[in-house]
Amino acid sequence: MSLINLLDLLPDELESLAESLGAPRYRGRQLAGWMYHKRVTDVLAMSDLPRPFREALTQRTTVAVPDVERCTPSRDGSRKFVLRYDDGARVQSVLMPDGERLTLCVSTQVGCGFGCAFCYTGTMGLDRNLHAGEIIGQVLAAARTLPSGQRLTHIVYMGMGEPLANYGATVKSLRLLTDPRAFGFSPRRITVSTVGLVGGIEKLAQENLRVNLAISLHATDNAIRDRLMPVNRGFAIEELLAACRRFPLPFRQRMTFEYVLLEDVNDSPAAARELARLLKGIRAKINLIPFNDWPGAPFARPPLARVLAFQNALLERGITATVRWSKGEDIGAACGQLSEAVVA
């Protein structure tokens, strides 16, 4: 009999599990308190739970936090983790300190099937989806490495995989992160990044999760976006932006558009002007990401002057645009650089 990963269960489901094992429902709440507030994952060490309940739990369940197989520190203070699950699958998570902020970038799939041309992860192909418990297991694994008193402040779904292509697990993991009985993160401190799966964006809009949404746009012209992101052949830019306009943004929240700058591909002044025109009417901010190189990449990073000219063209048109010099570039942990052998 395969064991239930307790990290896969929402707080209500933990209560139902307690009931099914002959314990009162509130034992499920205590269990969540141990795992998420006290960060104890050994059920036998949960001292205020009755021994028979703990023993029943150990026979049927596990708390499967992935092993940190490797942790590589970067010169800029970020750290890349290679995490290994029980079946040998590996993903990467990246911890990025920035002043008071400590952001963890999590993966939602082992590999990725979307094949964006500028992304190293896309060269791996998709091995499998992660379960919700495997996604939040990355948060627990990274949190365990922090010195006492230091806490994660932000979570971004920008690691390996497309979150909305693993919709059910992504949404469940977001509920676990934001539920005060579990992690209790503010949704404003969580960002889900998507290549622009229109159906997924529309479904997410109905979930009332109030997390931030980031769209990987990367081009203003369908022919170029088709080439960079094969997903565009199914959902053209106009259709994607129409879904973004319909997305219910919480008060004062803005949608982020990610735009990787590739020399002589999408970095012209005309592209900047077109980007400003396309985003009219959307409460948007743009993250410009100068391309991060990886072995065999068919693209180059534009010179600094061209990056700044692109940014200025947006600023002049009243669009908030920041240049994101990615963290962890020296350790292959920057945006679009994540890749890892899939199984042992």
Q: Is 130 in the site for ligand SF4 (CB under 6 A)?
A: no
Q: Which of residues 172-201 bind ligand SF4 (CB under 6 A)?
A: 195
* 24 vs 81: CA distance, rounded Å: 38
Q: Is 114 in the site for ligand SF4 (CB under 6 A)?
A: yes
Our CA angle for 257, 260, 262, nearest 5°, is 150
Q: Is 122 in the site for ligand SF4 (CB under 6 A)?
A: yes
Q: Is 307 in the site for ligand SF4 (CB under 6 A)?
A: no
* 171 vs 8: CA distance, rounded Å: 12
User: Are the CB atoms for 320 and 285 separated by under 8 Å?
Assistant: yes
CA separation, residue 209 to residues 175, 176, 179, 191, 212 (Å): 7, 11, 10, 11, 9
Q: Is 340 in the site for ligand SF4 (CB under 6 A)?
A: no
Q: Is 116 in the site for ligand SF4 (CB under 6 A)?
A: yes
| Closest distance of CB 195 from ligand SF4, Å | 4
In the chain, what's the furthest Cα-to-Cα distance?
A: 69
Q: Is 162 in the site for ligand SF4 (CB under 6 A)?
A: yes
User: Are the CB atoms for 170 and 204 separated by under 8 Å?
Assistant: no
SS3 state at 88: coil
| Closest distance of CB 163 from ligand SF4, Å | 9
Region of 79-87, 144-152, 160-168, 284-292 interacting with ligand SF4 (CB under 6 A): 160-168
Task: Among 23, 106, 119, 262, indicate the residue that binds ligand SF4 (CB under 6 A).
Answer: 119
CA contacts within 13 A on the Cβ side of 269? 5
Q: Is 121 in the site for ligand SF4 (CB under 6 A)?
A: yes
* 102 vs 97: CA distance, rounded Å: 4
How many residues bind ligand SF4, per CB under 6 A? 13
Positions that interact with ligand SF4 (CB under 6 A): 112, 114-116, 119, 121-122, 160-162, 195, 216, 336
